[in-house]
Amino acid sequence: MGIKPLIFIHGGAGNYRLFSEEALQRRRVLLNEIAVKSFEVLISKSALDAVEYAVKLMEDSGAFNAGLGSVLTLNKRVEMDAGIMDGKTLNVGAVACISNFGNPISIARRIMEETDHILIAGVSAERLAEFFGFKPDFSLITEEKLERFKKVYDAWIRGERKRMLKIREIVMSSPDLFNFLDTVGAVAIDSDGNVASAVSTGGYWLKLPGRIGDVPLVGCGFYADNEAGAASASGVGEAIAKVTLSKMCCDFMRNGFSAQEACEKAIAVLTRRIGDNTAGIIAVDKTGGYGFAFNTAGMCRSIFIEGMEKPAVAIFPEEPFIVD
Ligand code: GLY
């Protein structure tokens, strides 16, 4: 039997137990809609087009920590990272520390296709984006975000959050600082077995200006290779990067493990070596199998496989994630 095309998207791993039912429902509706729309792109175009489109829609939604919804740095700026990879060619494109553009994932793709490099950062990336025809968007810092910033910042100043000396100490002593890690991402496979991966983020609240996490680093936030599979991660970027989580997951698949086994093994290594409450990952293997695992309270996720009537959507581990 041939490979059934599938798109698997995530809206981030984090402590969704703190969210209101309304906020959770908003995410579920978006995950469902975006899985349907990006599946259409997968069928009519390619796995690469589908993962870019899925991430672009999540960036545009404002509901996740990417694009329009990106959180603020310690000096109240937006600094976003994104990465994309084509498993057929191993081509990679990524952008880091970009401030005034709504769709970093599409800039990453242009860097992949139209430059000789795989990662461009900061002001140079913004210049390049304008050269490519992307219009700057100065509406990413909203009143709502500034209010949220004040709450997070004041709590930090009052000593309710520890100083950001070392990320590990923050994760250990103040895990709620990382409660809202809604990085977005997607993996897909088409009927020819071509896989792709994409990921995009605003990082996390109060990160230092100039900080770059796992998301634009190939093998950390994303990886794709037709000979193994594709993976896309979400969580504390420093933790993900230390174990090169997405590459590790793909290497498990390369060595014959299913996508589900590979995700579980990769998250087990992360938990053992770095700690709990650090990340989640989704993957597709080269046979069209899918998998996910996380060591956080929840992970927003949605999958649409050819033949399904509608996507499966879930956030918490105990929720059914039914694929018919
Ligand atoms: N995983 C998102 C970040 O740490 O930037």
The answer to whether the CB of 284 falls within 8 A of the CB of 6 is: yes
- The pLDDT tens digits of the residues spanning 292-309 come to 999 999 999 999 999 999
> Which residues' Cβ are closer than 6 Å to ligand 1?
183, 201, 203-204, 213-215, 234-237, 240
Distance (Å, whole) CA 202 – CA 304 = 26
| Residue 270 alpha carbon to ligand 1 centre in Å | 15
Q: What does the DSSP 8-state code read for residue 69?
A: G
User: Of 294, 303, 222, 322, nearest to 16 (Cα)?
Assistant: 294
- The pLDDT tens digits of the residues spanning 40-53 come to 999 999 999 999 99
Q: In terms of C-beta density within 10 A (0-12 exposed, 13-18 middle, 19 or more buried), how is residue 2 classed?
A: exposed
The answer to whether the CB of 135 falls within 8 A of the CB of 160 is: no
Of the listed 183, 271, 278, 296, which one is catalytic? 183
User: Of 215, 168, 170, 224, nearest to 194 (Cα)?
Assistant: 224
The answer to whether the CB of 81 falls within 8 A of the CB of 104 is: yes
The answer to whether the CB of 25 falls within 8 A of the CB of 311 is: no
Q: Which of 177, 215, 245 to mutate to test the pocket of ligand 1 (most atoms within 8 A of CB)?
A: 215
Predicted pLDDT at 17: 86
Say what the pTM is: 0.92
Distance (Å, whole) CA 68 – CA 50 = 20
At 168, the pLDDT band (50, 70, 90 cuts) reads very low
- The pLDDT tens digits of the residues spanning 121-154 come to 999 999 999 999 999 888 888 888 889 888 877 7
